[in-house]
Structure 1
């Protein structure tokens, strides 16, 4: 934690550099004004003609591979210990009968797996919680709901904190039944589970969602709104409820790291008021 602020500053610089590369690789800028000013909606809807013919396919895929590889490499040092603990918890869960809910299957369900990981992280001292993001339908994207894990890490020598997102089925979020070989190769670079900061996650989305659009154009398939970058971003970066627990308290408690009111009665989970964490 001693170099916490320096690490954040260095990561901000790296992310800004990746952002410039992503904007250069993308066929369209990914800023809100361009999205809202689009007259025909092709860029947002992912219609087959949304990418200009001037974009050289070989250059596009080569640049996408390179930038994604750089983003993944830069993201690994942050939360490396946390990532090891998540992998350990998943490995232990899959060796035991971890699922006892109504959705129980031979390999267990994703919800129970998330709970096992959260419990393990709590046991070793992490401020981990299950998060539920939920958003309404708009003209551009359908409404949706998603569950994932987050961890709040507090710096010991300042009031700063870092938020880490844990998505246990990360690679599968981008798999497509019909995709070009270049897209499949790109997706295979992604880790099965993502453990890292939201900023790196959004940088990854910038590359992968644009690649998905390119793949569907090449396959002459319409891109559904649930594969848009904005829809994917809402899963991990949109307003969400953070579910927490504390077995040693009865009554209202407050998360010391993010100031989220949490109602707790023993080990059961109760939701905190809806909030948006940057």
Structure 2
């Protein structure tokens, strides 16, 4: 690739990133339609590697606890367990759930992820989204080769702010639409940009109370200690029950005669 072509590509990448808006209602899919597959891939890599220092710090804590759990089912219990460990590390983490109603062809749904509120150097708070099953949300059943290359570059565990997340969603949803059309498949409503943005950026978001933690896949939880059981007092038979036993034995002896 010549230097002029490289400069042009870098300019396109920067223009795309700077033109993106974190607003969930502002879809920028049209900005990506004219981009080639290679350009889309390079822009995605630029966004994925453009993490801030605060994002890198939180990701380090998450990976520390999730090490060796790639094949573990990403359940509510595992997310809750991770939240507890992040709190032990001193992070303001919470388990969140978004929900949204059907609107403009976008079906209703709900989603669950972890939220970390980070204090910036300027005193402003920053909302970071932690998703331990991020890549699977964008996978297709019959992807084209170029879309598979894009998905393979997406991390399984994502930590990022809303701005960076919006850019990733816009790129992947546009690429998914192109992939489905090339395969002659219909684009389902749950693959649209608005639906995918609703998963993490819906205005209807609530913090879940910590459920009972039944995840036992880590030694960090601690050794289980059985509860103390008080010995029961042995009840002595009363005179009436002893007499009943004698009558029962007599009945049995009579029947055996």
TM-score by length of 2: 0.67
1:73 maps to 49
Query: Is the 1:86–1:117 contact (alpha carbons within 8 Å) kept by the matching residues of 2?
Result: yes
Query: Is the 1:145–1:235 contact (alpha carbons within 8 Å) kept by the matching residues of 2?
Result: yes
| Higher RCO by CA contacts (8 Å cutoff, separation 6 or greater) | 2
Tell me, which stretches of 5 or more residues in structure 1 are unaligned? 1-13, 24-29, 36-42, 44-50, 96-105, 246-278
1:187 maps to 151
1:213 maps to 177
2:107 maps to 142
C-alpha deviation, 1:186, in angstroms:
0.7
Q: Deviations over 1:52-84 (max 9, x none)?
A: 8xx5xxx62011011101111112544212101
2:88 equivalent to 1:112: no
Query: Is the 1:19–1:203 contact (alpha carbons within 8 Å) kept by the matching residues of 2?
Result: no
1:200 maps to 164
Taking structure 1 as reference, are residues 108 and 213 closer, same or farther at Cα in structure 2, changes over 3 Å only?
Answer: closer
Q: Distance in 2 between matches of 1:204 and 1:125?
A: 28
Taking structure 1 as reference, are residues 156 and 72 closer, same or farther at Cα in structure 2, changes over 3 Å only?
Answer: closer
1:98 maps to none
1:166 maps to 130
2:177 aligned counterpart, secondary structure? helix
| Equivalent residue runs for 1:243-262 within 5 Å | 243=208
Q: Deviations over 1:167-209 (max 9, x none)?
A: 1000111111111111000111111110111110111001000
Q: Report the number of matched residues.
A: 193
Q: Distance in 1 between matches of 2:196 and 2:41?
A: 20
Q: CA RMSD in A?
A: 2.9
Taking structure 1 as reference, are residues 199 and 62 closer, same or farther at Cα in structure 2, changes over 3 Å only?
Answer: same
Tell me, which stretches of 5 or more residues in structure 2 are unaligned? 1-12, 211-257
Q: Distance in 2 between matches of 1:213 and 1:125?
A: 41
2:53 equivalent to 1:89: no
C-alpha deviation, 1:124, in angstroms:
1.2
Query: Is the 1:90–1:113 contact (alpha carbons within 8 Å) kept by the matching residues of 2?
Result: no
Query: Is the 1:149–1:166 contact (alpha carbons within 8 Å) kept by the matching residues of 2?
Result: yes
C-alpha deviation, 1:86, in angstroms:
0.4
TM-score by length of 1: 0.62
2:152 equivalent to 1:152: no
Taking structure 1 as reference, are residues 135 and 122 closer, same or farther at Cα in structure 2, changes over 3 Å only?
Answer: same
Q: Distance in 1 between matches of 2:122 and 2:164?
A: 24
1:123 maps to 88
1:62 maps to 38
2:208 aligned counterpart, secondary structure? strand
